[in-house]
Amino acid sequence: MKFLVDAIAMVFAFLAAYSARSGFAPAIQPLSFYWPLLIFSLVAFGGSATIFNLYRNHRPSLSLSYLVDFLRALTLWSALIITFAYFTKTDYSRAVIILFFLFSAILLFISRLLLAKNKKETAKTDQELEGAIKEIIKISALSSDDLALLEGVRRARAPSEIYFLLKRLLDILGSLVGLILTLPFYPLIIFYIKKDSPGPRIIRQKRVGQNRKIFTLYKFRTMSLDTELYAPAPSQGNDPRITKIGVFLRRYSLDELPQFWNVLKGDMSLVGPRPEMPFIVDKYDAWQKMRLSAKPGITGIWQILGRKDLPLEENIEYDLYYIFHQSFFLDLAILLRTVPHLLFPKGAY
C-alpha cells in the first residue's frame, strides 16, 4: 500500500516535471521517450526504500530515525537515476531529471505527513529516541572522571570536517532563502506589533553561543514593554506578559524570523541547541556545559519533541543527544520534522 502511494506520487511528480520543462525552448523528446526512466525510477525507489526499511508497518513515518532513513533512500535513489541515465547513454533532459527528483521528494514527504496525521502519530513517534535520551539523563550525577570519559566518547563520535562544511553551506543557503521569503512579511509584522503595544519592534538579547561566545540574538517583540529583557520565558499560553499579536507570533514561531540573520552571520545554525541567556549558563554544572560545544540553532530535537511542553531541565539532555549524534542527515531530518510543528504547533508559548 505504501509503495502504491509512493508510485502515484512519483508519477505525478514526473508528469509535473515534464510539463514544466516542455514550456521552454528548445523542444525536448516526446513523453514516451521517458517511460524507461520512469519505470526504472519506480523500481529503484522501491528497492532503496526496502533497503532502508521504509515500508515496515511498525515504523512511525515522522520519527527521526525514519526520516534519516528516508533521506538516505532519496540519496541512493538519486544516485541510481544518475547512473541509469549515464550508462544508457540516453539524451534525457537534465532539467526533467532534476525537477522530477525535487517534485518527487516534496510529494513523498507530504504523503508521509498525511499518513502520520491520519494515523495520529503522537507519543510513539520517537520512542527509540526517548529511550536513548533517558540514558543520557543519568549523567547529571557523574563524577569528574566519568565526565571526562563522557567527553572522550563525544569527541570519538565527533563528525568530520566535511559535515561541518556541509552544515555551514546548508545554513547559508537556508538562511538566504528564509530571509528572501520572509522579508516581505516584516513590514506587516512590525505594523501589528506597533499597533498592539508601545515599545521596540525587534528586541536584542545577549545569548551564549558555541564555546561560550556571547552574541546578539534578534527576535520580534512579543511581550509588553514593562517586561524585563531577560525575564524567564513564558511556560503557558495565557501568560499576561504576552501581547495579543505576540500570542500569534509565538504560536507559529514567527517571532524568530530575524534569527535567519544570526544564522547568516555564523552566530547560529539552522539546527542545534537553543542559545541560552548568560545568567542561566552561569548556573550550569560541568556536564551541562557540554551543550555549549555545538553552535546554537533555530530548531532542534527539544523543539520538535514537544517544545515548551517539556520541562526546562530536560532540554539539556535532548541537546546532548544531538551533540553525540550529529550528522547531516539528522540535521535534515530535524528540519523536516520542524515543518509539521510549524503548521500544527503544540506547546509553543
182 shares its domain with 235: yes
pLDDT in tens, 184-195: 999 999 999 999
CB 239 within 8 A of CB 349: yes
Model pLDDT, residue 165:
95
CB 316 within 8 A of CB 276: no
Domain boundary among 119, 149, 182: 119
How confident is the model over 317-328, as a mean pLDDT?
86
CA distances from 331 to 142, 157, 291 (A): 29, 16, 16
pLDDT in tens, 217-271: 999 999 988 888 887 777 666 778 888 999 899 888 899 999 999 999 999 999 9
How confident is the model over 24-32, as a mean pLDDT?
89
* Structural domain includes residue 293: yes
Question: What is the C-alpha to C-alpha distance for residues 73 and 79, in angstroms, rounded to an integer?
Answer: 10
* Structural domain includes residue 348: no
Model pLDDT, residue 69:
95
CB atoms within 10 A of CB 39: 10
Domain boundary among 62, 89, 119: 119
265 shares its domain with 310: yes
Model pLDDT, residue 307:
52
Question: What is the C-alpha to C-alpha distance for residues 75 and 154, in angstroms, rounded to an integer?
Answer: 27
89 shares its domain with 236: no
CB 140 within 8 A of CB 287: yes
* Structural domain includes residue 241: yes
CB 215 within 8 A of CB 209: yes
Q: What is the average pLDDT score of the chain? A: 86
Domain boundary among 119, 135, 170: 119
Model pLDDT, residue 320:
83
Task: Choose the weakest-confidence range: 4-8, 111-115, 217-221, 313-317.
Answer: 313-317
294 shares its domain with 179: yes
* Structural domain includes residue 349: no
106 shares its domain with 172: no
187 shares its domain with 319: yes
CB 45 within 8 A of CB 10: yes
CB 234 within 8 A of CB 241: yes
Q: Give the confidence band of 302 by pLDDT, cuts at 50, 70, 90.
A: confident
64 shares its domain with 205: no
With a cut of 60, say whether residue 310 has pLDDT above it.
Answer: no
Q: Which residues fall within 8 angstroms of residue 117, CB to CB, at 6 or more apart?
A: 340
Q: Which amino acid is present at 99?
A: L
With a cut of 70, say whether residue 120 has pLDDT above it.
Answer: no
pLDDT in tens, 139-183: 556 666 767 766 776 776 778 889 999 999 999 999 999 999 999
Count of domains observed in the chain: 2
Stronger pLDDT, 116 or 52, i.e. the higher one: 52
143 shares its domain with 251: yes
46 shares its domain with 186: no
Q: Which residues fall within 8 angstroms of residue 141, CB to CB, at 6 or more apart?
A: none
Stronger pLDDT, 286 or 241, i.e. the higher one: 241
* Structural domain includes residue 268: yes
Model pLDDT, residue 9:
96
Model pLDDT, residue 123:
46
Question: What is the C-alpha to C-alpha distance for residues 284 and 266, in angstroms, rounded to an integer?
Answer: 24
With a cut of 80, say whether residue 114 has pLDDT above it.
Answer: yes
14 shares its domain with 37: yes
With a cut of 60, say whether residue 318 has pLDDT above it.
Answer: yes
* Structural domain includes residue 194: yes
244 shares its domain with 312: yes
141 shares its domain with 112: no
* Structural domain includes residue 79: yes
Q: Give the confidence band of 314 by pLDDT, cuts at 50, 70, 90.
A: low
How confident is the model over 48-64, as a mean pLDDT?
88
* Structural domain includes residue 308: yes
CB 225 within 8 A of CB 197: yes
With a cut of 80, say whether residue 64 has pLDDT above it.
Answer: yes
> pTM score, two decimals?
0.87
* Full residue range of the structural domain in which residue 44 is found: 2-119
Model pLDDT, residue 287:
78
Q: What percent of the chain has pLDDT over 90?
A: 52
CB 220 within 8 A of CB 255: yes
